[in-house]
Amino acid sequence: MKIQLLTLALLGILSAQAQERQEILLQDDWQFSRDKQTWQTVSVPHDWAISGPFDKKWDLQTVAIVQNGEKIATEKSGRSGSLPWIGEGHYKRVITIPSDFSGHAELIFDGAMSEPTVYVNGKQAGYWAYGYNTFRVDITPFIKGGENLLEVHLKNVEESSRWYPGAGIYRPVTLVLTPQQARIDDWGITTRTELHVKNGKGVDCTKLVVEVPILNAGQGLPVIMELFAPDNKNKIWVCPAPQKRGSGKAVGTFMIPDAQLWTPETPNLYKLRITLCDGISAPNVYDDFGKAIDRKTMKLGLRTVRVSKEKGFQLNGVTRKLKGVCLHHDLGPLGAAVNKAALIRQIKIMKEMGCDAIRTAHNMPSQWQMDICDSLGMMVMAESFDMWKYPKCKNGYARFFDQWADKDITNLVKANRNHPSIVMWSIGNEIPEQWSEEGREMAIRLQGLVHSLDATRPVTQGMDRVDNALASGFAQAMDIPGLNYRLNKYQKAHDTLTHGFLLGSETASTVSSRGTYYFPVTPTDKGVHPDGQCSGYDVEWCSWSNLPDDDWQWQDDKDWVIGEFVWTGFDYLGEPTPYDEYWPSRSSYFGICDLAGLPKDRYYLYRSHWRKDEHTIHLLPHWTWGKERVSEVTPVYCYTDYNEAELFVNGKSQGRIKKNKDSRLDRYRLRWNNVKYKPGEVKVVVYDANGSVAGEKVMRTAGKAAALKAEVWTQTSNLQSQISKLKADGNDLAYVTVSLVDKNGTLIPDATDQLSFEVSGAGKFRAVCNGDPTSLEVFTESTMKLFAGQLVVVCQAGKEKGQLTLTVKDKQRKLTRKISIPVE
């Protein structure tokens, strides 16, 4: 189809005459109740359980966790987070419809936990079983001009989750009004990118094919597609795409020379504007296309995905290995209530580490999360379920699988298939049926359903019973065979399968606590300690898992291992392995960052391996110990991309060493295992491949506590900035890391002082978290103890411009720190 190049002036005429659809975010003015007697005003997204209190009685489960190899049921007090998420919740608010409205009205729920039933003006308008899925409700038959009552009923039952699921309308709700019944089916839009290679020497031209279904098209209505370049300059491509009469679909083809392709390093996004016209001739508009009656604008990225035996995983024809992490859906102290600034912070922290992919484990992602992954450049494995017909917990998704699985897969793919960040779909995680013929058939059916909805991406799932999955043909059925752990089965899987590649769909599960160290340093899969913490030396793992170093040996030595997704990027609420039976313990230890988003030492181990554009030099442990450790062996580790370094304690060399490819823990780390602690200064000097000094890192023993240090993060700043701005939108967040330091700014690493917080001016206090998985302090109370000398305060901007001021007090030491943040 011919592509025309038009000026913006002509397009402005069309724009002025368009009847825009309205997409209204229903955020404020909700009323919430647990009993329909007492109501409170809340904003959505909302998580009713995050304010606690923590208590072991909530969802107390007596189970044997099969995935952990357990055979005897025991009491699991913190398995789903020890927060009061079980029970019913009720939401209501008024929505206003124009008095002359005669078109189509629908509600889009991005997720509600759980089993949401939707009522409009007292009549049931919709229901969805799965709390993690996006769903639409056609409310056209139930509305009237003026005020309409919208109600949502939710029900969470005990033992329905293996982690903290959250509670409430925890993702956005959007009201969509289209002015006529004939309209663009935005969930039906599909895009396909093809790269045209010239003489095998690079991409000459990029082809984009767009298909747009039109609902209630009648005799066939004309559609115009406009593609705007990422740089937003005055050049655009316009593709008139009239429908074939009665076909209900318009197809447009764009041939784009020198296209700006989407990658994690260059997340270029084009803007596609689709306009449905009435077909009645009108002056100064596109000939006979007529006036606009509906319009949809969306962002998209031009990129291709392919996995092959010869080339492995390829993005835009370039082979690369996935450097991914798994992320649960909770946002630490915010709970399950999704927030754009919080998501941006997560993705930026991971990208700074060198991560280029996330797996939405073990559930369907939020639309905001995918939008952010598109714009920041983060590849995604979008996952669906944690179980099929066989239950992992008594009241889990297995209750719904037979009736709802196809519907849920359909919504997952339709709602997300135009996100360039998504590079593969996952139809399950450690599904018990993987050993059986029934399971193989279910896998084939679900994968086939995905292919029918999206032929541009491969499908995978995480398998943990490798021998069974190979014997049944379950693994053979997948586009991408994904193995969860089981490194000792990698070679057998590769030799058995004909794919020629496999993916570490879930790796490592190393456990650690930020700033916590034990002596002697002992690599072990049985690392439990009296205080309920794990070693920050990154040498403790679970009986079924391993260390990062183990995964990297396979990925570096075997071309056919196409990458990994580490369990996990951040700690999450619930599943406190290896302390499932320990109280108090209510969140995980797997995270590369803790629950507050503060990096553990392991963050720098991954950064030293994954970042190729910047160097990493990190020392551990801290160097502030009591008299009992003086002259005691205190090993020092250096996480760096350099191969060689020399360590000094108070100027005395502890030896110059190199990494050792033949040693499990010395291939990717530099370790001085016989250092004896003496207060003062530890310095490491690193050397490049030529033996020349390339850099150094120093850590010192802290003196007496002298000040509260504050570092502010907002979404407009980078990770190293001090003070930045907040948007006066009522949603934007500032994360303030508070540290107790000595007069020289050195962290007091064992400080546990009780701090208090007050926010005044153009914002409010939202939450606080110290990253301690055993803390029972409430996130939404304005006081908390330091853990390993630090915590993070979350402040939320108001809707008025001004200054937000956070005051932090340490009454024990009579210290105060004020931080002012502009809200504009």
- Catalytic residue positions, numbered: 430, 506
% helix, strand, coil for the chain, step of 5: 15, 35, 50
Name the DSSP class of 765. Answer: E
Q: Which amino acid is at 457?
A: R
Residue 741 Cα to chain centre, angstroms: 32
Residues 6+ apart with CB under 8 A from 455: 192
Residue 228 dihedral angles phi and psi, to the nearest 5°:
-100, 135
Pair 290, 237: CB distance under 8 Å: no
Instruction: Please choose, from the candidates 102, 73, 92, the residue with its C-alpha nearest in 3D space to the C-alpha of residue 180.
Output: 102
What 3-state class would DSSP assign to 604? helix
Torsion, Cα 741 745 746 747, to 10 degrees, reads 30
Which residues have CB under 8 Å from 652's CB, separation 6+? none
Q: Are 150 and 69 in contact (CB under 8 A)?
A: no
Amino acid letter at 649? V
| Number of C-beta neighbours around residue 19 at 10 A | 16
Cα dihedral 51, 54, 55, 56 sign: positive
Cα–Cα distance measured from residue 260 to residue 205, given in angstroms and rounded to the nearest whole number: 10
Q: How far apart are CA 40 and CA 35, in angstroms?
A: 11
Is the dihedral angle over the CA atoms 590, 167, 767, 732 positive or is it negative?
positive
Q: How far apart are CA 447 and CA 824, in angstroms?
A: 47
Least Cα distance to 160 among 106, 196, 114 occurs for 114
Q: What distance separates the 2 farthest-apart alpha carbons in the chain?
A: 90
Cis check: omega of the bond before 621, within 30 degrees of 0: yes
